[in-house]
Amino acid sequence: MTKTIELSGVQQRFHARGAVGGYLTAVQDATFTLAPEPPQVVSLVGQSGSGKSTIARNVLGLQKPTSGTVRYGGKDIFKLTRAEYDDYRRNVQPVFQDPYAIFNPFYRVDRVLWKAVKKFGLASSRSEGLALIERSLEAVKLEPERVLGRYPHQLSGGQRQRVMLARIHMLRPAFVIADEPVSMLDAQVRRLFLDILLDFQREYGMTTLFITHDLSTVYYLGGSVMVINRGVIVERGPVDTVMHEPSHPYTRLLLDSIPQPDPDLRWTGRIEVDELSGTAEAGTPKATAPETPII
């Protein structure tokens, strides 16, 4: 039985010179559950600096919360035994934002795939491992002969991101933590990447926590969404409901900020954002958000 990831009252503070009290609160009382069954896409959306990536690091075990807990199978992930932690690493896999920084430039891209094969015992022989790698590359729409043996600088950003998806395909984790994975990709590759994530959900039962500032990608993926503002999750629910019937002023502000591809709809006003609440205080754009965001 696959285990559940639970965040309970997670708070993350950082020391910051000049801040009130000498620290900055990046995440405040984050509480939610990622369930493996049924597999789903849960999006976490908010502007830059809202605390999204901090939550991703908490979930991945890269940063221990100041307070609150992240549990896997009911156990605090920072108190897991070695065997339990290995299981967690196998079942909770990341995809990071920058496709230019995730590879060591001195090694061929094959290395990240072979490391996974060896670390998690995915094959009993080199030929079996190579066959697995090639199948996984093909599953993410990459031609093995055009990828294997190359250095990172010889691949595009989209190809490098899909190599990381191939690694996930090999491991078949229960959870994917995708932190702004398409923000540096062009529109065509972005859609291909999102389609692969949806295939992972449907075909392999993976649940994805998709972190982004882009509402159009949230709408495309569907599932459920959580809206975060200044470290606080202010709204959550099915994507259609939140997009069409937002209840929080900050969510409405995000929707109103989507530009219209219509030269006749020009913004003539300005949005003033309250520093504490994140709500629109004065003035709103003349152009309104589309009924359905466009990807």
What's the pTM value of the predicted model, to 2 decimals? Answer: 0.86
Return the pLDDT at 149.
95
Q: Whole-number mean pLDDT of the chain? A: 88
Q: Is the pLDDT of residue 291 over 80?
A: no
Return the pLDDT at 20.
74
**What percentage of the chain reaches a pLDDT higher than 90?**
71
Q: Is the pLDDT of residue 292 over 80?
A: no
Q: Read off the pLDDT band of 38 (50, 70, 90).
A: very high
Whole-angstrom distance, CA of residue 15 vs CA of residue 24:
6
Residue with the bigger pLDDT between 113 and 287: it is 113
Chain segment 205-239, per-residue pLDDT in tens: 999 999 999 898 999 999 999 999 999 999 999 99
3-state DSSP assignment of residue 210: strand
- Nearest CA to 171 out of 223, 103, 99, 95 is that of 95
Residue 221 CA, chain-centre distance (Å), reads 12
Return the pLDDT at 266.
65
Chain segment 167-186, per-residue pLDDT in tens: 999 999 999 999 999 988 88
Return the pLDDT at 33.
96
Strands (E), 46-184: 67-72, 75-76, 92-95, 175-179
Q: Read off the pLDDT band of 269 (50, 70, 90).
A: low
Residue 53 main-chain phi, psi, to 5 deg: -70, -30
| Strand 207-212, strand 41-45: pairing | parallel
Return the pLDDT at 294.
40
Whole-angstrom distance, CA of residue 98 vs CA of residue 179:
9
Return the pLDDT at 274.
57
Return the pLDDT at 16.
81
Residue with the bigger pLDDT between 209 and 265: it is 209
Tokens of 180: 């702004």
- Nearest CA to 60 out of 29, 82, 85 is that of 85
Q: Is the pLDDT of residue 283 over 80?
A: no
Return the pLDDT at 284.
44
Helix or strand (DSSP H, E) at 84: helix 82-91
Q: Read off the pLDDT band of 288 (50, 70, 90).
A: very low
Q: Give me the residue spans of the domains in the chain.
A: 5-282
**Domain at 5-282: CATH architecture:** 3-Layer(aba) Sandwich (3.40)
Whole-angstrom distance, CA of residue 78 vs CA of residue 67:
12
Average pLDDT over every residue of 34-63 = 94
Q: Is the pLDDT of residue 39 over 80?
A: yes
Average pLDDT over every residue of 261-267 = 65
Q: Contact, 27 vs 13, CB < 8 A? A: no
